Amino acid sequence: MRYVVYIVLLFFSVSLNSQTVWVQTNGPYSGHLSYITKNGQGHLFAISENYYLFRSKDSGANWAKIASKISSIAFDSDNNYYLGTTSGEISLFDTNMTLIQTIRNEEHEIRNVESIDIDANGNIYAKVFMGGLNLSTDKGISWETIYTSGFSQLSFDSNNVIIMSFYSNGIARSTNNGKGWTEIVINDASYRRGIYFTAYNKVFDNFVAVGMGNIVYISNDLGLTWLLVEDSIPINYVEAVLIDENGDAYIGGDSLVCRSTDGGYTWTKLDGFPKVRGQSLVKQGDMIFTATWSNGIIAYDISTNSGEKRNNGIINSNVYQIAINQKANVFAATSSGIYRTTNSGNYWEQLELPISSDVESTTILASKSGNLFASSEHGVLISKDDGQSWSIVDNLESYPEITTCFAESDDGRIYAGNYSLHYSDDNGETWQSIDVDDVVYKISSIATYHNKYILVGSDYDGVYFSEDNSNSFKKLPINVPEDTQNYVNFNSEGNMFISMNAWQGGDAVFRSMDLGNTFTTLDSPNGGVRFLKIDNNNILYYSDYKNQLYHSKNNGDDWLPLNDKSKGPVYIRDMVFGNSNNAYIGTWYDGVYKTDFLAIVNSEPLQNSVDFGIFPNPTSEYIEIAVNINPTVNRRVDEIAEMKVFNTLGECVIELADVQHLGDVGHLQRIDISHLPRGVYYLRIGNRTQMFVKM
């Protein structure tokens, strides 16, 4: 029942650690999706680039994440699910997502089941990465490998003639369930750089094949011969092919979709289709749904020639950086635009940007003046009205191929770094350039202390420091490995922290407590340096490449894990701090998480005296608390003054003022929670917090 467990966990998304509780916010809604399909009930299913499976039962109006590690999906005539995993398994589920059986269990950590096809006779074909094409003729009881060379995909006609497409100048054809293959060369396809997709049109009884080069091939004799339809589509790089129940054919690529209603001989471009990179198509009624590279799901209405995003519930974009302004509004720079929340993540709105709101933004700064600065491929963006409107900064040199990073000094000077360093003393109206060093290739980070101390981290060329308000710079004496990106920080006492991640090893964190004259190499936790952040209380936070958070309350001399047991591999990209209690982390593929319990970390001692468990969990009527005492610290919990239950908004919904009667080790305390609404809650005893789910 492993997959059922996955589903329960995904619905309640939760705690990154047992000390500070992190809750996934409601967004931003968008995502990197690679595939979309539907079942016989009209439900839509989408698979993301990181192998999450989403489902919509209402034509894309709302989506729910129902499983992870899913690389392929197919349905039988009874609408049962066949799910292929990233480890090579295939399992069969009923319509309620209850596991029936695992029909292929050859687990291998790198062998994704890339596609599953089921023919008219119920035979199952599984394409496995580095494992060839595998066939089962007995509903998964046994399997045989029937093709071992590389290929693109399969298509079937009504009589189970199989056409296999290649990234080359031909196809392979089988009439015996793939036991034997006949290779058919399409000479012109070699010039056109190959055949990528084929599809069978039941209405016209023909096959359509497409690749690169604005052409379509058609076969009217079950794939034996192919006719070239010259310059038939204005698409050079095809990414998706769809043929609907009426015989209408659709080809997507180059941010376009074309349609043919005559079996593929003539094609017209669909007007009004959003300019997004679509990777898969499915049609339902008059709606075409597209799984896109970075913008989630696009729903296009053929009858009105108009499209819209339908991403409610899809949290899958890459959140590169987060900023909080003085109004406590939170902004996220993501792979699919800039988003804002004014209510702590309960709702995120995508902000309108110049040229395209869907443009990738990787950095963002909320300045003391209230202005916002963000990077984009169209240039540096500025907003003077809390993100309501944005404009491109005309007089700041920027480059679409690299990120511009930002920092602000105490006196309000804004710094921007890319191939060179720039500053503005008038809230971004005008900019001046600064010469850091002739050898600096690219600036990766900037930090300031008071008004005159400036740190500049570079890609590959070390770290530079100015003590005179950026009038001059010197290279700091740090033993920097080759091929490193250097990230710089100051704490409120002027201590420097320089973290680096080296593509070829040598990850390290350096500290200077004398403004760069001497440096100490800190003993950082294992796993590599992803980022280092410093909160308002000078506590250091560190993320490694194993998605583990650590913190240090003694300037980096000692590190403690902030998350003991993660519910899954959450790729942490950024961390930002609000007031004394809350913080946000941005992730790749999992949106933004927040905590309102950061004060627990700030106040707790290095050794915790009390731990406890909650049973049952999930629950509907009550919870019981089993308290464990660290005997080296004390043997009772008489010092605990209160027990509180919080909802996901940080509101206290249950409070017990005196819990001294918990008494000795192992004693159970029962709390009635039957009156609480369904949802996720957090129980805090002393300085420890645990999550539970009310069903």
* Count of Cβ atoms closer than 10 Å to residue 220 Cβ: 14
In sequence order, the 6+-apart residues with CB closer than 8 A to the CB of 394 are none
**Tell me: domain 435-518, CATH 2.40.10.500, correct?**
yes
**362 with 419: CB under 8 angstroms?**
no
Percent of the chain predicted with pLDDT > 70: 85
pLDDT higher than 70, residue 298: yes
* Of 34-38, 526-530, 615-619, the least confident: 526-530
* Of 102-116, 382-396, 405-419, 630-644, the least confident: 630-644
- Mean pLDDT, range 228-234, rounded to an integer: 83
* Of 12-26, 381-395, 641-655, 672-686, the least confident: 12-26
Residue 176 has φ and ψ, to the nearest 5°, of -135, 50
3 state DSSP class of 661: helix
Which among 417-431, 492-506, 663-677 has the top mean pLDDT? 417-431
Which residues sit opposite 209 in a β-bridge? 198, 217
Give domain 152-269's CATH architecture: 4 Propeller (2.110)
Record: fold of 610-694: Immunoglobulin-like (2.60.40)
Q: What is the pLDDT of residue 332?
A: 98
Of 321, 336, 356, nearest to 31 by C-alpha is: 336
Question: Which residues of the chain form CATH 2.40.10.500?
Answer: 435-518
Which residue in the block uniquely carries the two structure tokens 């946000």? 584
Q: What is the mean pLDDT of the chain?
A: 84
Question: Which residues of the chain form CATH 2.110.10.10?
Answer: 152-269
Q: What is the pLDDT of residue 600?
A: 58
Read off the pTM: 0.82
* Of 51-60, 95-104, 569-578, 613-622, the least confident: 613-622
Distance CA 472, CA 498 (A): 20
Expressed in angstroms, the distance from the first to the final Cα of the chain is 20
Distance CA 505, CA 379 (A): 33
In sequence order, the 6+-apart residues with CB closer than 8 A to the CB of 426 are none
Of 138, 131, 94, 96, nearest to 115 by C-alpha is: 131
Which pLDDT band holds residue 194 (cuts at 50, 70, 90)?
Answer: confident
Q: What is the pLDDT of residue 53?
A: 96
In sequence order, the 6+-apart residues with CB closer than 8 A to the CB of 516 are 465, 476, 477, 496
- Mean pLDDT, range 658-666, rounded to an integer: 45
Q: What is the pLDDT of residue 684?
A: 76
Distance CA 294, CA 568 (A): 22
**Structure token digits, residue 566:** 């993660």
Question: Which residues of the chain form CATH 2.60.40.1930?
Answer: 610-694
Residue 10 has φ and ψ, to the nearest 5°, of -70, -35
